[in-house]
Chain A
Amino acid sequence: MGSNMAEAHPVAFANVVKAKERGAKIIHVDPHYSRTSALANLYVSTRAGSDIVFLGAIIRHLLETNSYFHDYVVHYTNAATLIREDFRDTEDLDGLFSGYDPESGTYTDQSSWDYERDTNGKPLTDPTLQHPRCVFQIMRRHFARYTPEMVEDVCGVPREQWLRVAQTLIENSGRERTSAICYAVGWTQQSKGVQIIRAAAMIQLLLGNIGRPGGGIMALRGHASIQGSTDVPTLYDLLAGYMPQPSALSAQQTLAEYIDTAGQKTGWWANFPAYIRSLLQAWYGEAANEEDGNTCYRWLPKTIGDHSHLATSYTMLDGKVRGYLLFGQNPAAGSTNARMQRKALEQLDWMVVRDLYEVESAAFWYKQPGFGPDTEPVDSSKIKTEIFLMPAAASTEKEGSFTNTQRLLQWRDKAVDPSGDARSDLWFVYHLGKRLRELYAGSAEPKDRPLQALMWDYDREEPEPGSRILDEPDTLLVLKEINGYYVRQPAQTNTGAEAQRFSMLRAAPHVPGFAVLKSDGSTACGSWIYSGVYPEPGNNRAASRISSDGYTFQKWGFSWPANRRILYNRASADPQGRPWSERKKYVWWDEEQQKWTGVDVPDFPLSKPPDYAPPPGAVGMDAHSGSDPFMMKPDGKGWLFVPKGLNDGPLPAHYEAAESPVRNALYHQQSNPAAKYYRDRPDNRLAAVGDPNYPVVITTYRLTEHHVSGPMTRWMPWLNALQPTLFAELSPELASEQNIKHGEWLIVSTPRGEIEARAMVTRRMRPLFVSGRVVHQIGLPFHWGFQGKSTGSITNDLAHMVLEPNVSIEEAKAFTCNVRSGRLP
């Protein structure tokens, strides 16, 4: 669901087809009939934006027909845990959870979502699942209204079809079988995206499909290293390895306060102090020892709100951002409400664009697309933005690693030098850093100390053989820092004398993995979850290319953490440590050797027996029993109910998209109450619910032959020949209503703008019967812009900017529009 895997991830889908040939059943639920649908055993056409009703009804069905995996649910999830007495569900508050503050539009007080705890802070449970305040019973009440009738009415899916999906999942789950759910941005790009994924994760927990071979919930991520960019993040709210960026809105002014609020006392995150301290050591070296790391911690920039890309584009539009650095990203065509994005770029003093081609974001000052009667010619003499357009190296022209959608790091060797003045982004950042350090070298200002203290020496010992670029930094040295190294000689090899200190990254011994990281300043590590990728000189495991065993391929690349291929794989065995079935054997307790073993690296303390029971008041991993597989959670359980950490509720609830043709049939609350709407922005006008001017649901998607807004494909004749132009898919019924002919031009309009596209009249888009009337949907790709060898309207000019409340992602997969025959002037 929420993915067209055959066209967006074609080579991975080949494996799905192979599984089908061996008897696996493939189901595709999507608003748009695609090649994925064509190859599935069952295709279900649904309305964009109604996913939680479809999934919620499956959850209800599992609970009401006792079709869940009882032993898995009781032992491995928080189904039995009691929730506080003052918690109020959407059932009690007509679509809201307790703690909502209408003024700020956020859940300001989430304390009532927490577990009911004993005096030691240990959550109370009822393993019989009967207590009215246990998660299981709360779920039963919460999902009671997610009925098959509701699926029919809200999703436009006949109940028999929906039931076939539910039954297929049930038949293919349990001890002997597992099912997997794959999703992509069809889910994430919605104003309740996180809760849709949560609903799917709940189904998988209820069916016992997490941590087991053939199971799981798979995010099909869209770019070569989009996973890597999240793990070793270039994201405003994260430090490496999923530690939060410190915030001035929390009590995080000191390192101790930060560890206290961001870390956990129980579970694997009890190691948080070792990971943050090792990161500070990797960044600031010797200075990280001042005040046991606190001096450097205070240097870390603190957030004061939402500084995500899209939220930042509004501060840019307001003139508060003066300089902008783009690295292979193209907001002028690729970001939502792209017209606003281009306006925002005009407010900058300066920007750096690093790319292979002259993309829209570098050319907005002399070229704009036509978008209707309001189009004004571009007047360069009125645009102040100073632009440095820098040629970048392609992926074949530099070495480095990509992390794929399965958390797998794969190293690329360098084939050739980039031409002319093109350089890698590593080169650019490294040399910019060196220049800035020179500019600030003489400063005595406290604000400049972090830059002066930064460990910043990645020069190669000798230039790369055969390369004309003599000052390319040493990528392997950067990887070594990410992997981690000993600042002081580890104790076991230190023979009495004073521990040897290594001030140089190059000379220091590698750490073998994150298990040895310490909070005393003796280790440095750039990203703890990647630790182990480069455990010793000459052994870059990301570059390991041994394709041998034919099953888990442990020697092909390196998957974080610790080269585990399936996370939480302790759950592949029963509470006693035996495989749930011979057929699905994966990781198990070896009684003889008294340790966990299997075909993967066990995701569990190796020698902790299945019958281990934590003593009262235990901390760290000792607080988890031998049958608590979810190590990262403080209680070791898979969370059906999220007591802490989400901004829009502990359970998924269906809300309509910010723009919808219908009222919410489940609650009076129309759309996600915690989403960020930007209603005060004149360029972010939203169509009203059921607005007759914008009656058609629109969704956007990718084609196989192009990539995002096109910078990596629209300069290539081979691909342009395969997909020459922007088109919109619409049903014959809608085409006939609007007198639109196949192959001719049509105009798509929203309150943000208008674009033109070729009409693709096709049965792949079907009118749906929703809330007692026909709702039309159209779909179109978003790959075009005004630069390159194939040009066309910018689909993102249509989309609005309403952001999901947990991750600030736009709602590009479900909004409303209108269509008419014709072309833009």
Chain B
Amino acid sequence: MQERTSLPEPLQSVVSQVMQVGSRVQPFSIESHEKAPRIRDAQVVHSVCPYCAVGCGLNVYVKDGKVIDIEGNPDSPINQGTLCPKGSATFQYTVNPSRLTQVLYRAPYSDHWEVKSLEWAMEQIAQRVKKTRDETFVERLPNGREVNHMLGIATLGGATLDVEENYLMKKLFGGGLGIVSIENQARI
């Protein structure tokens, strides 16, 4: 972000400041000069609103590795800096104490969650996928038609998935594993 006012040079003599009063510089207290929007020194990251499909541009302001604010991107021809109530609240969607940060596991017939490691969960999920796939994979129908598919696993994605994520899902689940029911909010 560019500076719009010149800050006082701390080493400038009081005399020269006094001489300029009433000529071209307005009198500012040090406090006024130091006041700045908190996003002033933040890094601006360009993003897109995750809600509806209009695709409003977002400016995500990052300071010290944390998102401090999210606003509409004034350069976007789609929203020209404006946002609706949901878009304006994207900050609270991403920075929110209710968000999950650990893997929770519920064993069959259990009445509680258990915290598990990511590594453990990934390995268990891979094992479940393999077991179900090996048990339900069908190469041919009774009528001899080749199907090479598996109906024992289904997937359902939301439409906040990225294009690249959708691509890898279809490739792995369909092309690699033979899952047929790969579905998305796009149908609903």
Q: Contact: A366 with B111, CB < 8 Å?
A: yes
Q: Are A284 and B56 in contact (CB under 8 A)?
A: no
Q: Do the beta carbons of B148 and A298 come within 8 Å of each other?
A: yes
Cβ-closest 5 pairs across A and B: A420-B101, A404-B55, A400-B162, A223-B159, A328-B158
Known A234-B186, A365-B106; contact A413-B125, beta-carbon cutoff 8 A: no
Contact status A429-B185, CB under 8 Å: no
Bound together, the chains give a CA A300 to CA B150 distance in angstroms of 11
A475 touching B164 in the complex, CB below 8 Å, given contacts A299-B148, A301-B147, A712-B50: yes
Chain B residue with Cβ nearest A408: B55
> Are B146 and A253 in contact, CB atoms less than 8 angstroms apart?
yes
A425-B163 Cα distance, complex, nearest whole Å? 11
B167–A253 touching, CB < 8 Å: no
Tally of contact residues, A, Cβ under 8 A: 164
Within 8 A of A (CB), among B59-98: 60, 62, 65-67, 70, 75-79, 82-90, 92-94, 96, 98
Q: Which residues on the A side are within 8 Å of B18 (C-beta)?
A: none
B132 to chain A, nearest CB (A): 5
Distance in Å from the Cβ of A530 to the closest Cβ of chain B? Answer: 7
Q: Which of B146-162 contact A (CB under 8 A)?
A: 146-162
The answer to the question of B4 belonging to the interface, with a C-beta cut-off of 8 Å to chain A, is: no
Question: Quick check: which of A52-60, A308-316, A679-687 contacts chain B, the rest being far away?
Answer: A308-316
Alpha-carbon distance A590/B86, docked complex (angstroms)? 46
In the complex where A358-B100, A416-B67, A719-B86 touch, is A301 in contact with B180 (Cβ < 8 A)?
Answer: yes
Which one, A228, A420, A431, contacts B122 given CB within 8 A? A431
**A45 interfacial contact with B, CB 8 Å:** no
Q: Tell me which residues from 107 to 144 in chain B have a Cβ below 8 Å from any Cβ of chain A.
A: 107-111, 113, 116-118, 121-130, 132, 135-137, 139, 141
| 8 A–B contacts, CB within 8 A, in A order | A325-B156, A327-B157, A400-B163, A420-B102, A421-B103, A545-B75, A713-B93, A716-B89
B57 x A232 contact (CB < 8 A): no
Complex interface: chain B residues within 8 A of A417 (CB): 65
Are the CB atoms of B157 and A283 closer together than 8 Å? Answer: no
Interface string of A1-35 (1 = CB under 8 A from B): 00000001111101000000000000000000000
Q: Is A718 interfacial (CB-CB < 8 Å)?
A: yes
Q: Is A691 an interface residue (CB 8 A)?
A: no
A158 within 8 A of B: no
Contacts A236-B183, A454-B175 given; indicate if A716 touches B159 (C-beta within 8 A).
Answer: no
- B99 adjacent to chain A (CB < 8 Å): yes
Partner of B181 from A226, A236, A440 at Cβ < 8 Å = A236
Confirm or deny: B39 has a beta carbon within 8 angstroms of a beta carbon on chain A.
no
Cβ A413 vs Cβ B166 within 8 A: no
> Chain B residues with Cβ under 8 A from A235's Cβ?
182-184, 186-187
- A398 contacts partner chain B, Cβ-Cβ < 8 Å: yes
Residues of chain B contacted by A436 (CB below 8 angstroms): 126, 129-130, 172, 176-177
Tell whether A704 is near chain B: CB-to-CB under 8 Å: yes
Contacts of B136 in A (CB 8 A): 322
Whether the pair B168, A429 counts as a contact (CB closer than 8 A) is yes
Which chain A residues border B158 with CB–CB below 8 Å? 223, 327-330
In angstroms, Cα B98 to Cα A788, docked, is 9
Pick the contact of A308: B148, B150, B183 (CB < 8 A): B183
Give the CA-CA distance A391 to B130 in the complex, in Å. Answer: 22
- How many whole Å from A245's CB to the nearest CB in chain B? 8
Of B103, B166, B183, which contacts A232 at CB under 8 A?
Answer: B166
> Is B107 within 8 A of A234, CB to CB?
no
The residue from B53, B148, B157 contacting A301, defined by CB atoms under 8 A apart: B148
User: Is A302 a contact partner of B148 (Cβ separation < 8 A)?
Assistant: yes
In the complex, what residues of B have CB within 8 A of residue A383's CB? Answer: 109
B45 contacts partner chain A, Cβ-Cβ < 8 Å: yes
Task: Check A556–B156 contact: CB distance below 8 A.
Answer: no
How many Å lie between the Cα of A618 and that of B181 in the bound state? 39
A672 at the interface (CB under 8 A from B): no
Contact indicator B128/A350 (Cβ below 8 Å): yes
Identify which of B76, B93, B150 contacts A712 (C-beta below 8 A). Answer: B93
**Contacts A224-B55, A397-B94, A440-B130 hold; do A303 and B180 have CB atoms under 8 A apart?**
yes
A423 at the interface (CB under 8 A from B): yes
> For the complex, is A642 an interface residue (Cβ under 8 Å from B)?
no
A316 touches B154 (CB 8 A): yes
Known contacts A324-B156, A543-B46, A715-B96; 7 additional CB pairs below 8 A are A8-B52, A229-B157, A239-B170, A310-B188, A321-B151, A426-B168, A527-B167
A380/B75 contact (C-beta < 8 A), A14-B82, A401-B163, A447-B137 known? no
Q: Which of A315, A422, A433 contacts B151 (CB 8 A)?
A: A315
Pair B106/A387 contact, Cβ less than 8 Å:
yes
Contact of B47 among A228, A415, A708 (CB under 8 A): A415
B residues less than 8 Å from A451 (CB atoms): 176-177
Query: Assuming A226-B53, A315-B151, is B102 touching A327 (CB within 8 A)?
Result: no
Contact of B141 among A304, A349, A395, A412 (CB under 8 A): A304
